[in-house]
Amino acid sequence: MTTQWVLRLPAEQSKSLSSLRLEKQIQASTLDQEIWLRGSMLDENLTRTLRSIPDSELFDLQKDAQLIPAGRHVPLGYLPDTEWLPLPEWLTVQLQAPALAGKTDDRISFELVRSQQNLKANVLLTTLVNLKKLVDCDSQIRLKPLQYAVDSQQRTIIRGAPLPSIEGSFFCEQKGIAVAAGWVWSPQVDVDVLHSLFKLNPGDVVLLHADQSREFIGADQFTPLTRSSVRLTLQRFDNTSSSDPV
């Protein structure tokens, strides 16, 4: 059934949205420690799922953006003017672990050595500040081929080509194995061997740093690089900072 609807819930209930992660028609946003969802299709199953989310409020959305609590007739405010993303994309923008999730495997015995090869970089490790400067001045067409992930320390990894010319550490990725630019692993086994040893799934990336450390970034941490998604990421950091105890 076609019904314009809106759901409001506290930001701490974000994990309750995992059951909706495949609902591409639903849009999401974060504003003032609250999560807002909106959609145009509402059937019995979706209604039941939405009502099961703790501390949530379901509204009917009117043409003038007024919100009427479900089952009532008196409007209660308006839909906020904010940035919206498809829910699956919004979920990947949420703050990750304190660092880009690192893991190592002691059974993998190799090291990085200087390389004479001049491979084109397709992964960049930078900061959220640099990313903001990029989206503020670059065209959406140039951003379209790129994906990014951000950790809670605002370290940012950008993946794709062509990479932007901003400050950061560059890597050359093959089949999920991203080695620091100017370096190569030794012994020089085939990249498929490393892919198998790290047990990578499609879309996963392992960063091999020049200092011999390694970091793992799962495919589900990446999201398309768009202005709206970066703004939402920045908004979440701003909201988190403002809620920290003094």
Q: Chain-wide mean pLDDT for the chain?
A: 84
- Mean pLDDT throughout 198-205? 91
Segments forming the whole domain that contains residue 64: 2-91
Q: What is the pLDDT of residue 240?
A: 60
Token pair 């001045």: residue:
137
pLDDT at residue 98 greater than cutoff 50: no
CB 37 within 8 A of CB 75: no
pLDDT tens figures, 57-74: 999 988 888 899 887 778
Same domain, 58 and 130: no
CATH number at residue 10: 3.30.70
Q: What is the pLDDT of residue 116?
A: 83
pLDDT tens figures, 11-55: 888 878 877 877 878 999 888 788 999 998 888 888 888 888 888
- 3-class SS of residue 174: strand
As for how many domains the chain has, the answer is: 2
Choose between 94 and 64: higher pLDDT. Answer: 64
Does this model's pTM top 0.75? My answer is no
Q: What is the pLDDT of residue 126?
A: 94
The pairs formed by 217-220 with CB atoms below 8 angstroms and a separation of 24 or more are 217/100, 217/101, 217/149, 217/157, 218/101, 220/92
Same domain, 145 and 211: yes
Which residues 6+ apart lie within 8 Å of 42 measured at CB? 1, 2, 3, 5
Choose between 205 and 118: higher pLDDT. Answer: 205
Same domain, 129 and 186: yes
Same domain, 161 and 62: no
Q: What is the pLDDT of residue 97?
A: 44
Q: Which of 41-55, 159-173, 205-219, 227-241 has the lowest mean pLDDT?
A: 227-241
Q: What is the pLDDT of residue 157?
A: 95
Q: What is the pLDDT of residue 242?
A: 56
Q: What is the pLDDT of residue 4?
A: 87
Residue 93: pLDDT band (50, 70, 90) is: low
Would you say residue 105 lies in a domain?
no
Phi/psi of residue 168, nearest 5 degrees: 160, -175
Same domain, 118 and 197: yes
As a whole number of angstroms, the distance between CA 218 and CA 220 comes to: 5
Q: What is the pLDDT of residue 106?
A: 47
pLDDT at residue 239 greater than cutoff 70: no
